Amino acid sequence: MSLVGNLGRFRKVTGIMIKHGFGDVLSSIPIRSIFPKSRPKKGEVPEGTLPRRARLTRYQRIRLALEELGPTYIKFGQVLSSRPGLFPDELIAELTLLQDAVPPFPYEQVQKVFRREFGKNPEEIFTEFDKKPIASASMAQVHRARLKTGEEVAVKVQRPGIRKIILADLEIMKELARLAEKYLPDLAAFQPMDLVKTFEASIVKELSFKAELSNLRRFRAQFEGESRIHVPHTYDDYCTSKIVVMEFIRGIKANNVQKIKEAGLDPVVVAANGIDLFFEQIFIHGFFHADPHPGNLFVMPDGRICFIDFGMMGHLSEGDKDTLADLIIAVGKSDMTRVVDNIEKLTYGSEIPERETYEKDIGAIIEQYAGGGIGDVDLTTMVDQVREIVLKYRLRIHPDLYMMMRTLAIIEGLGTSLDPNLDVFSRVRVYGGRLVAGKIDPKVLFSQRNLMIAVYDLIKIGKEIPGDFSKISNKLINGKLKFNLELKEIEPFLNEMDTVTNRLSLAIVLSSMIIASSLIIRSDIPPKWHNIPVIGIGGYIFAGILGIGLIITIIRKGKY
Residue 9's nearest CA partner among 29, 30, 33, 38 is 38
The single-letter code of the amino acid at 543 is A
**Sign of torsion, CA 52 58 59 62?**
positive
The residue annotated as part of the active site, out of 291, 320, 400, 419, is 291
Contacts of 132 (CB under 8 A, 6+ apart): 104, 107, 143
Distance set, CA 473 to CA 34, 263, 359 (Å): 55, 78, 44
Contact in structure between 393 and 371 (CB atoms under 8 Å)? no
Show Cβ contacts of residue 167 under 8 Å, excluding neighbours closer than 6 positions. Answer: 1
Tell me the three state secondary structure of residue 377: coil
- Written as one letter, the residue type at 131 is K
The DSSP code sequence of 459-526 is HHHHHHHHHHHHHHHHHHHHT--------S-HHHHHHHHHHHHHHHHHHHHHHHHHHHHHHHHHHTPS
In angstroms, the CA 168 to CA 3 distance is 7
Contact 25, 17 (CB under 8 A): yes
- What is the C-alpha separation between 276 and 431, in angstroms, rounded? 8
The three-point CA angle 380-384-385 to 5° equals 120
Backbone angles phi, psi at 528, to 5 degrees: -125, 155
Residue 252: strand pairing partners: 299
- Minimal CA–CA distance to 176: which of 92, 327, 69? 69
The answer to whether residue 130 is catalytic is: no
Q: Where would I find the H helices in 119-256?
A: 122-125, 162-183, 185-188, 192-206, 209-222
Length of the chain: 560
Pairwise CA distance, residues 259 & 270, whole Å = 12
Cα 16 from chain centroid (whole Å): 32
Nearest to 187 by CA among 87, 98, 91, 93: 87
Active site members: 291
